Amino acid sequence: MRRVIFNQKGGVGKSTITCNLAAISAMEGKRTLVIDLDIQGNATHYLLGQKEADADKTIANFFKGCLSLGLFGGKGANLEDVIHETPFPNLFVLPSHPEQEALQSRLESRYKIFKLKEELDKLEDFDEIYIDTPPVLNFYSQSALIAADKCLIPFDCDTFAREALYTLMQTLTEVKSDHNANLEIEGIIVNQFQAQANLPRQLVEELIAEGLPVLNSKLSPSVKVRESHTVSQPLVHYLPNHKVTNEFRELHIEIHE
């Protein structure tokens, strides 16, 4: 199963959600891969910490291989060669790299938008794949949406986030129509949810009333999430009994039902 976590609005928790869901899958014994397509590299740092990814083993190196395919004897790309083990059993990461930004226009001009899907179709070693994306519809996020089976949408209970959500739903409809007929919008993940506050409750109720696929599981705000970023340990390892850790477990169960 390949899931992409995507929203065109930044700061909604994409990397946090990606890594914590992946860590739970791995802890359950599933070989799990996180693909970090965001040049900020938050998912990479969350899972690898201060350990530097080998410069020749990143997603940028994979895409450079796509560009060299058949050129001057170039062999092309192989995803298996750029995957890193993390400190956590069954959990692997394909790191991002800032060089991705410079590669983007060349990849677009040579229409390499399907390369990630093609390579993932060949990759049989993993039970679960989670793809973290940049907060913009660009070559990398489109590649992820084309490669994925399902899409999870983080939503952070903000009026601006609600307006962005409508645009996002239209974007996903177009990607599904034009490039990936099998893409399923698995659900909207309500993040930073304060159950006692009126505005978050009202926003969520309105989204549900409009028929949008809001998931039942919601994620609360907590400083412990930021602490887990600092120590580079997903919550299931850092604080296995914390309230937010259990909320992630509930979310994981819901999307796997």
Tokens 């307006």 correspond to 163
> Nearest-5° angle of CA 68, CA 54, CA 70?
10
Name residues whose C-beta falls within 8 Å of residue 226's C-beta, 6 or more positions apart in sequence.
none
User: What is the number of H-type helices and E-type strands within the chain?
Assistant: 11, 8
The domain tally of the chain equals 1
* pLDDT score recorded for residue 250: 98
Domain that holds residue 41: 2-255
Predicted local distance difference test score (pLDDT) of residue 11: 87
First to last CA, the chain: 13
Residues of the chain under the 50 pLDDT cut: 71-74
Backbone angles phi and psi of 155, in degrees to 5? -135, 125
pLDDT at 72: 45
**Dist CA 205 CA 202 (whole Å):** 5
pLDDT tens per residue, range 113-131: 999 999 999 999 999 999 9
Which of 156, 142, 166, 148 minimizes the C-alpha distance to 220? 156
Give the per-residue pLDDT at 76.
56
Query: What is the predicted pLDDT for the residue at 77?
Result: 60
CATH of the domain at 19: 3.40.50.300
Q: What are phi and psi of 41, to 5 degrees?
A: 70, 25
pTM of the model: 0.95
Q: What is the DSSP letter of 30?
A: -
**For residue 97, what pLDDT is reported?**
92
Query: Which strand (E) or helix (H) includes residue 230?
Result: helix 223-230
Q: What are residue 197's phi and psi, to 5 degrees?
A: -90, 145
Burial status of residue 224 (CB atoms within 10 A of its CB: 0-12, 13-18, 19 or more): middle
Give me the pLDDT at residue 53, please: 61
